[in-house]
């Protein structure tokens, strides 16, 4: 085996030996599968499962319920890391997946996965053929309460001495050009326009927004957002 860091075993399941799967995008630019982030009995332990196989090239190579140990040598250990990894795979034409399979995949465990998916509310993020289904641990800009959203816009736009932090945020996330910045400046509320544009970014979540704000050292903005996000995850 290659020296990838492998995830911890989910509790209570017997797994096969690791299997290396090589996938190339098909004519539709798809790898043909989705994966799901799951939490073990230990709240600090997360693992990744194949949740759906839809088409070639994953068809006949991956199965729903396969335990993903590594994607191109990387092993996400939190939902946020999994989301970041998914976006890093966006422009790749090939994918190396290391999986282990439940020994009873055709019976008890597979039915358990399908039953759980039917019960849980999930959101799906797609990225050029690789999709990730996540529980409500990840929430989106549209989910932010109006009062908190207005405060976020205000803090990004007019709080001194960082009245242009909306511009920095846009440069970090949307790679705004000088012309883009000038266009935003003509708006009554540039920060609101920026956040509205971020809604059109596939899978852009509040945790990702918080990560960018942390790079900007805006703990004053992060604090109320994080407090609200924590309440949503309970």
Q: Decide if domain 19-134 falls under CATH 2.30.42.10.
A: yes
Q: How far apart are CA 211 and CA 218, in angstroms?
A: 10
What pLDDT is attached to residue 113? 46
What pLDDT is attached to residue 13? 62
Tens of pLDDT along the chain (234 residues) come to 222 333 444 555 667 778 888 888 876 677 888 877 776 655 566 777 787 887 778 888 888 878 888 888 877 767 777 777 777 777 788 888 888 887 644 444 444 544 444 444 344 444 344 444 444 346 777 788 888 888 887 777 654 344 455 666 665 556 666 676 677 677 777 777 777 777 666 566 788 788 777 776 778 788 888 888 887 765
Q: Are 128 and 29 in contact (CB under 8 A)?
A: yes
Q: How far apart are CA 33 and CA 82, in angstroms?
A: 15
φ/ψ bin of 217: left (φ > 0), alpha (ψ from -120 to 50), beta (otherwise): left
Domain ranges of the chain: 19-134, 141-233
DSSP 112-133: HHHHHHHHS--EEEEETTEEEE
Note whether 19-134 and 141-233 share their fold.
Answer: no
- HSE of 104 in the Cβ direction (CA atoms, 13 Å)? 9
Strand 67-71 versus strand 94-100 pairing type:
antiparallel
Q: Decide if domain 141-233 falls under CATH 1.10.10.
A: no
């Amino acid at each position: 085996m290659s020296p990838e860091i492998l995830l911890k075993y989910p509790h209570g399941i017997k797994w096969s030996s690791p299997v290396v799967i090589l996938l190339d995008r098909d004519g539709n630019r798809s790898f043909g599968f989705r994966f799901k982030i799951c939490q073990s009995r230990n709240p600090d332990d997360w693992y990744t499962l194949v949740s759906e196989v839809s088409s070639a090239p994953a068809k006949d190579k991956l199965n729903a319920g396969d335990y993903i140990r590594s994607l191109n040598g990387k092993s996400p250990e939190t939902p946020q890391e999994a989301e970041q990894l998914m976006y890093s795979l966006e422009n790749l034409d090939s994918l190396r997946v290391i999986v282990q399979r439940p020994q009873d995949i055709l019976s008890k465990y597979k039915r358990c996965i399908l039953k759980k998916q039917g019960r849980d509310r999930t959101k799906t993020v797609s990225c050029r053929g690789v999709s990730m289904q996540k529980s409500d641990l990840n929430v989106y800009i549209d989910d932010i309460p109006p009062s908190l959203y207005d405060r976020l816009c205000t803090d990004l736009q007019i709080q001194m001495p960082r009245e242009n932090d909306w511009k920095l945020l846009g440069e970090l996330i949307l790679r705004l050009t000088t012309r883009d910045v000038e266009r935003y400046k003509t708006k009554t509320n540039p920060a609101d326009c920026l956040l509205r544009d971020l809604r059109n970014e596939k899978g852009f979540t509040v945790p990702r927004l918080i990560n960018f704000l942390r790079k900007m050292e805006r703990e004053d903005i992060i604090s109320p957002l994080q407090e609200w996000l924590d309440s949503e995850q309970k």
